[in-house]
Amino acid sequence: MLKAEPLPLLATGIGKKAVVAITGLVLYGFVFVHALGNLQVFLGREAIKAYRESLHSFPKALWGARAVLLVCLLTHVTLTIDIAAKARAARTTRYKVSAPIAEQGILQRYARKTMVLSGPILLVYIMFHLAHLTAGVVPGLPFKAGEVYDNLVRGFQNPMVAGLYIVANLLLGLHLYHGGVALFQTLGLRHPQWDAHTRHAAFLVTAVVTATNVIIPTTIAAGLIRQ
């Protein structure tokens, strides 16, 4: 049973989690920039179209970035499933009474408890989001390639679609908040002097992303932005 040889980094829970944290950070950065870019919908049809065209004018960079994001997403998800499966095997029995032993803020408590739930839901949401606004293959939702503004407005005029985006983005907020705080712990970048700052920074970035992503479908569904 006892062996003194070290394991390769990726065979340890700590190593796997470090990779989950780093890939998560890449995706975090993308989500932040993506949300800020999308705010241009409020500048009107032409502004958001110009934004799309400027991104598409560098096809190599665009597809390179997409490839990096896809690899990060797949790694993030695969390693998390692996870690969760090991955890499940390590703790097979639950206690008769479940006690709230950790005193944490309600937001943090809820965020960490829903991590297992928000992950898979977000994965489904990302696939729907890509099918809806990138590929344009969702049946029943009209799509015209390049017409970002129309596609967005028509999609969110459907209250079901807008509702889905709002719920998914609130969950994304919780996921980002927990992940944003946790990644400093996972990578060992904590210090009592920085703790409050990292938590505030994670909260602020998460708040900006979530507010943006919720305001866009809400204003469209409420009819404040029209075609």
Q: How far is the CB of 79 from another protein (least distance, A)?
A: 10
Stretch that binds another protein, among 32-40, 85-93, 156-164, 200-208 (CB under 8 A): 85-93
| CA 210 – CA 89 distance, rounded (Å) | 35
Stretch that binds another protein, among 6-14, 155-163, 167-175, 202-210 (CB under 8 A): 6-14
Q: How far is the CB of 108 from another protein (least distance, A)?
A: 9
Q: Which of 5, 106, 140, 145 binds another protein (CB under 8 A)?
A: 5
What phi and psi, each to the nearest 5 degrees, are found at residue 147? -90, 70
Residue 205 token pair: 């970035």
Q: Which of 25, 26, 77, 83 binds another protein (CB under 8 A)?
A: 83
For another protein, the closer of residues 154 and 199 by Cβ is 199
Stretch that binds another protein, among 37-45, 92-100, 136-144, 203-211 (CB under 8 A): 92-100
Closest listed residue to residue 83, CA positions, set 177, 156, 18, 173: 18
Q: DSSP for 169-188?
A: HHHHHHHHHHHHHHHHHHTT
Residue 114 token pair: 């829903």
Q: Which of 186, 206, 210, 213 binds another protein (CB under 8 A)?
A: 186
- Three-state DSSP at 53 gives helix
Site string for another protein, 97-136 (x = CB under 8 A): xxx-xxxx-------x--x---------------------
Q: Could you tell me if 111 and 157 are in contact, meaning their C-beta atoms sit under 8 angstroms apart?
A: no
Q: Which amino acid is at 203?
A: F
What phi and psi, each to the nearest 5 degrees, are found at residue 94? -100, 160
| CA 208 – CA 218 distance, rounded (Å) | 15
- Residues 6+ positions from 121 with CB-CB distance below 8 Å: 168, 171
Stretch that binds another protein, among 57-65, 79-87, 155-163, 210-218 (CB under 8 A): 79-87
User: Is position 184 an interface residue for another protein (rule: CB under 8 A)?
Assistant: yes
User: Is position 25 an interface residue for another protein (rule: CB under 8 A)?
Assistant: no
Q: Which amino acid is at 119?
A: G
Q: How far is the CB of 76 from another protein (least distance, A)?
A: 14
Residues of this chain that bind another protein (CB under 8 A): 1-7, 9, 11-18, 83, 86-87, 89-99, 101-104, 112, 115, 178, 181-182, 184-190, 192
